[in-house]
Structure 1
């Protein structure tokens, strides 16, 4: 049996064929976010034989993820595994011929260009607007196609953006929405909608990788109320778009007012602290020793979990990033950070 035999049914599909399959094997894709959407997208791309798949996520597996995030198990949650570590194990078991590159990191202006360039397509598996604007800036600056998707409640949408050919994300959404908005944590989400939107995103990525025509629409659907809408965005260019027209990449600009180091994660009662100037990795052993008399400490090779009281849990990652669970007030978060980690 040859390597191509495992893709025999896919190659029977004429728009892909043998030539398209060989293109997929030689392609590189990067997925930002390995929650519900990223789980589905990566599953499809790895099964389809995309040769190199980078997966990026900042979080760990929690029990509440398992209702919709198809790659993870109760064991992953019990062991506090980073999502990309658990995902890599599953994906390699699905297709060992594919290179899966797991990156435990928050995507931000300091690392976005390093992590997203050199790929044939970027796929959005995130749940926040700021990261999408950042992806859009990188995609335009470096001429990389990307696929957008989002899902909440029973609703979802997706679209494909190709620099120089289609409008960009900021053409369609010129202003960051104010307020927290609706999230999975505030109004819930059905697993089938994340499966559907993630699958559509994967299909659009495959089209890009084999050179096929992509969907010209922004598609929206609601699987509970059986409604759908297609909006043709092909003529949606904004002649004054800061990103794709003026090439003003605010979300990559360290002096831009858009940049923040303290972020309240929408609907999650969590604040993320990302010290941009921290060039040293956290020494988990020394940190655990220092904190052990101040609260409960758990440690594994990927993260350190510290609970100074019953309400607050701080999760430290090696790159210096900290998630503070149990609050959404930035001032309180800074107080906790200063108290246990310094300024």
Structure 2
């Protein structure tokens, strides 16, 4: 498998994270073509004409080597690597559209964080189901503690490239890594994807405590016990325990559960302040993965007979109308047990 030095890359998704990753790639010398759905035509034209995307970044000028299109076939033609950066809910539809358009094997990377509703599938599994094996040179996931708002201004960031094929993980590592964007390798795709998806639920919980007025003690306890929940379910599904102590585990959990940049944390804070879900989604204006992932995680935990009281509590608040303050107290009143 040839190592890409200067590579042609398609980035599917012109949201904040897609734009930030495109900037990393372009600054590394790669030729980047961003794809957006036809509804994003105004952003596409803005990227091509002004090298900006003010919907997400008011003061950022993107490299001229980044171009954009709403034509999916144009986006992937002659591209060795495809990076998928869209909300989980759209992954299967997009990969179904991709399948007939791929004429030669591609390395397919996703940088999304969630579980599919009903099937509870991880994103790499969806990709493998919908895109034929002969059209895939490899599948990888790029994940870790990384706010787009910080990456786009070259703030120091470290994340993980994971693939069952270590050579593919190395290729993605080399593709993205530079002085401000450090990439580690991992072959535990299950652990990396489960950590990425489930931490969004815990971040909602942390934000909720903040909205209720609780302090650092409460949030630290919730995040710590949240990591225990994430690990229990991930390990039951085949993940390696040590993965949850890495960038895509505790690293991503910390940054998502403590930062105003986190959509999930902000959604939780609004829940704690008494806002309803429709208002929250309208105010944030972008996908809040944790609000959908909590459904899949609750169902998956029940299937696997895994105890996840924080996940269950957040589900009850969001979807069953449970009182937030009373639910927090119920968690505190659970029977004492060994850590």
- TM-score, normalised on structure 2? 0.28
**Could you say which structure has the higher helix fraction?**
2
**Could you say which structure has the higher strand fraction?**
1
- TM-score, normalised on structure 1? 0.28
